[in-house]
């Protein structure tokens, strides 16, 4: 069940990059993120209302939920939108490979989860999965992968923010909140921040959109698939599996995105992408088996039942 949900979850996530890249040709990225969040949040609130589910956040947790909106959505989406305008897919993949290590540090801080030698080996196998991609890029291109500029620093901040966010999300889940509840509030706050930032940096004449029909179609798809299904499926998975494991699995997203671009947009994909994806899956399997042995998954399941 884990592997099926994992494939579905990250295939959905990958498809949002493909659709999002289409939308970015006709709208300001920051404005689009704001519209997406401001549309998704009321949908989630309406669902909670119709199902008679709690929407209220306890006073003691308001700052944590607002922080969640910043580190889970605002910084990752806005930062990645900027970074993708200047960085290659290979470099984006390489920087995202740092995510499991960042998540592991926060998981140790939040939950006391240990990284054993076997887990570390699994992570290193996953990192090795990027070698075919780097080699395929060529020596001159490969050298540029390891230089750090402003866009690289922004993406590194995105990785750290995401790693912190999912551990914070998991901590709030353990306090009794629902995924939908947390996502609704964090999306609303991130949407407000994005619209405000867009108003300051974009040219509103009257709005930073040049093709509403394409943008609206992409917006509907991303709200349904990305905001409603993916974010809440990820929250469900955090009830049962560790944040580090899910973050590690997220390393496959750039490769699944490349595969979907090849299928739907006809953009060529080299054998290096598939070799890298295969190696990452092997590393993920090693890490997953060790998570099972340590009992973190079993304890998550037991906590959910209680």
Give 31-41 pLDDT, tens digit per residue. Answer: 999 999 999 99
Lowest mean pLDDT among 1-5, 40-44, 95-99, 118-122: 95-99
Task: Print burial letters for 65-92: b (CB count within 10 Å at least 16), e (below 16).
Answer: beebbbbbbbbbbbbbbbbbeebebbbb
Range picked from 79-83, 87-91, 116-120, 263-267 for highest mean pLDDT: 116-120
Two structure tokens written together for 265: 């947009």
Instruction: Determine the Cα–Cα distance for residues 145 and 271; give it in Å rounded to an integer.
Output: 19
Instruction: Work out the pLDDT band at 88, boundaries 50, 70, 90.
Output: low
Contact of 276 with 255, CB cutoff 8 Å? yes
What is the model's pLDDT at position 35?
Answer: 96
- In Å, how far are 33, 34, 231 from 78, measured between CA atoms? 7, 10, 17
Contact of 162 with 214, CB cutoff 8 Å? no
Torsional sign, CA 238, 181, 10, 100: negative
Give 193-250 pLDDT, tens digit per residue. Answer: 999 999 999 999 889 999 999 999 999 999 999 898 988 888 888 777 777 778 777 7
Closest Cα to residue 154, out of 73, 78, 253, 255?
Answer: 78
As a whole-number percent, the residues of the chain with pLDDT over 70 amount to 80
pLDDT above 70: residue 164: yes
Range picked from 5-19, 44-58, 181-195, 245-259 for highest mean pLDDT: 181-195
What is the model's pLDDT at position 306?
Answer: 46
Contact of 254 with 92, CB cutoff 8 Å? yes
Range picked from 95-104, 141-150, 297-306 for highest mean pLDDT: 95-104
pLDDT above 70: residue 305: no
Two structure tokens written together for 219: 């917006």
Instruction: Work out the pLDDT band at 139, boundaries 50, 70, 90.
Output: very low
What is the domain count for the chain?
1
Instruction: Determine the Cα–Cα distance for residues 113 and 264; give it in Å rounded to an integer.
Output: 40
How many Cβ atoms are within 10 Å of 151's Cβ, its own excluded?
Answer: 18
Give 178-202 pLDDT, tens digit per residue. Answer: 888 999 999 999 999 999 999 999 9
pLDDT above 60: residue 298: no
Residue 81's domain comprises 2-305
Residue 54 CA, chain-centre distance (Å), reads: 26
Residue with tokens 């009321």: 42
The rounded mean pLDDT for the chain is 81
How many Cβ atoms are within 10 Å of 5's Cβ, its own excluded?
Answer: 15
Mean pLDDT of 132-147: 57
Of residues 108 and 169, more confidently modeled: 169
- Integer distance in angstroms from the first to the last C-alpha of the chain? 21
Instruction: Determine the Cα–Cα distance for residues 32 and 220; give it in Å rounded to an integer.
Output: 12
Mean pLDDT of 54-68: 93
DSSP string, 32-70: HHHHHHHHHHHHHHHHHHHTT------GGGHHHHHHHII
């Amino acid at each position: 069940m884990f592997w099926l949900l994992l494939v579905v979850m990250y295939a959905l996530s990958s498809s949002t990059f493909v659709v999002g890249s289409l939308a970015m040709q006709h709208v300001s990225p920051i404005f689009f993120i704001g519209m997406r969040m401001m549309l998704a949040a009321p949908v989630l609130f309406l669902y909670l209302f119709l199902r008679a589910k709690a929407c209220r956040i306890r006073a003691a947790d308001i700052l944590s939920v607002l922080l969640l909106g910043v580190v889970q959505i605002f910084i990752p989406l806005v930062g990645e939108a900027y970074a993708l305008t200047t960085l290659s897919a290979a470099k984006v993949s390489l920087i995202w490979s740092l995510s499991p290590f960042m998540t592991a540090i926060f998981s140790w801080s939040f939950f006391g989860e240990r990284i054993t030698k076997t887990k570390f080996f699994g992570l290193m196998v996953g990192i090795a999965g990027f070698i075919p991609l780097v080699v395929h890029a060529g020596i001159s291109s490969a050298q540029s992968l390891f230089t750090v500029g402003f866009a690289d620093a922004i993406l590194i901040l995105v990785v750290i923010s995401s790693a912190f966010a999912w551990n914070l999300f998991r901590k709030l889940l353990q306090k009794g909140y629902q995924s939908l509840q947390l996502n609704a509030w964090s999306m609303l706050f991130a949407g407000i921040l994005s619209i405000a930032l867009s108003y300051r940096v974009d040219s509103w004449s009257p709005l930073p959109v040049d093709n509403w029909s394409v943008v609206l179609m992409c917006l509907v798809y991303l709200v349904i698939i990305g905001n409603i299904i993916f974010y809440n499926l990820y929250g469900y998975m955090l009830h049962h599996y560790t944040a580090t494991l899910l973050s590690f699995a997220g390393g496959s997203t750039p490769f699944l995105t490349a595969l979907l671009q090849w299928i739907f947009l006809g953009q060529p994909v080299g054998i290096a992408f598939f070799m890298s994806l295969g190696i990452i899956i092997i590393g993920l399997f090693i890490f997953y088996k060790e998570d099972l042995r340590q009992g973190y998954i079993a304890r998550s399941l037991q906590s959910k039942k209680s």
